Amino acid sequence: MTRLSVFSPFDLVEGDRGKGLVLVADHAGRALPDEYGALGLPASEFDRHIAYDIGVEKVTRELAALLGAPAVLANFSRLLIDPNRGEDDPTLIRQLYDGTVVPGNYPMTAEERERRLVRFYRPYHDAVASMVASVAEASGVAPFLFSVHSFTPVMQGVARPWHVGILWDSDDRAPKPLIEALSAEADLVVGDNEPYDGALRGDTMFKHAIVNGFAHALVEIRQDLIADNTGAVAWANRLAPIVDAINRRPDIHEVRMYGSRTGPL
């Protein structure tokens, strides 16, 4: 776990904004400001998937370098507040996660909840919105948003067979070719909206892509495959040519209002 006294909720990786591509990593960081201590948890809990998406920071930075594209990464632990949830989502600030009780999140006063929204959650989303707007202006087209996540090989005692999953809602412009390209590799088990469903109202892709009609996709990579530097670099190299090819398609940079499987926008 990293504890920071001078805390920035996000980190920006610069790239060519004229490419029309934005990389996003909601759960890249596991840091906490000093004032929160360790939320009452032993430090070992911050090495687990409950605190952050293992391997994602390295994959995202490598991918940004390979593609020459900008990226926005969240620095704070999802145990503080989860940036990939809507503000009204009951799992926004978890009090129990995969068997771990989080003492620093219980009880949660309305004032403390708002404080975390103001200091961490909203500045991160403001940074994503600003980057998306900047890329749209620089490129002159609708941006393509690509979100990088990872998932634990075992959840609540159940093994997950997928090596990688592509999450999406109703717009299949990017997910379909991603799934096809990854499925063409004989050694990969690829999930289509596995191990999670991509239709999550209020999440990052909903806020910044779906409501704007921008093409998008969320990749989930199994954490044991990217936990070390070698694996993370290998996956960035695997994804880069696929994402680049998709980003070069004209239809990817059109505004299309597909709506959401969660209901009307």
Q: Does 1 score more than 90 pLDDT?
A: no
Distance of CA 158 to the CA centre of its chain: 23
- Low-confidence winner among 6-15, 139-148, 248-257 (lowest mean pLDDT): 6-15
Share of the chain above pLDDT 90, in %: 94
The pLDDT value given to residue 263: 85
Question: What is the full DSSP assignment across 196-242?
Answer: S-S--TTSHHHHHTGGGT--EEEEEEEGGGTSSHHHHHHHHHHHHHH
Q: 204 in a domain, yes or no?
A: yes
Q: What is residue 260's three-state secondary structure?
A: strand
Give CB contacts under 8 A, 24+ apart, made by 94-101.
94/50, 97/50, 98/48, 98/49, 98/50, 98/152, 98/155, 98/156, 99/156, 100/41, 100/45, 100/48, 100/50
Q: 265 in a domain, yes or no?
A: no
Q: Does 32 score more than 70 pLDDT?
A: yes
Average pLDDT score over residue span 136-149: 98
Give whole-number Cα distances, 165 to 6, 87, 162, in Å: 35, 25, 7
- Diameter of the chain by CA atoms? 52
pLDDT grade for 264, boundaries at 50, 70 and 90: confident
- Low-confidence winner among 11-15, 218-222, 258-262 (lowest mean pLDDT): 258-262
Q: How many CB atoms lie within 10 A of CB 214?
A: 27
- Low-confidence winner among 155-164, 181-190, 233-242 (lowest mean pLDDT): 155-164
Model pTM greater than 0.85? yes
Q: 263 in a domain, yes or no?
A: no
User: 222: domain range?
Assistant: 3-253
* Residue 132 parent element (H or E): helix 122-139
pLDDT tens-place string over residues 85-115: 999 999 999 999 988 999 999 999 999 999 9
The per-residue pLDDT of the chain, averaged, comes to: 96
Convert 143-209 into a string of H (helix), E (strand) and C (coil).
CEEEEEEEECCEECCEECCCCEEEECCCCCCCHHHHHHHHHCCCCCCEEECCCCCCCCCCCHHHHHC
Q: Please, what is the Cα angle at 23 between 72 and 73, to 5 degrees?
A: 25
pLDDT tens-place string over residues 179-219: 999 999 999 999 999 999 999 999 999 999 999 999 999 99
Q: 64 in a domain, yes or no?
A: yes
Q: 79 in a domain, yes or no?
A: yes
CATH of the domain at 17: 3.40.630.40
Q: 23 in a domain, yes or no?
A: yes
Average pLDDT score over residue span 131-152: 98
The pLDDT value given to residue 210: 97
Q: Does 265 score more than 80 pLDDT?
A: yes
- Low-confidence winner among 1-10, 11-20, 54-63, 137-146 (lowest mean pLDDT): 1-10
Q: 90 in a domain, yes or no?
A: yes
The pLDDT value given to residue 86: 97
Q: How many domains does the chain have?
A: 1
Q: 260 in a domain, yes or no?
A: no
The pLDDT value given to residue 137: 98
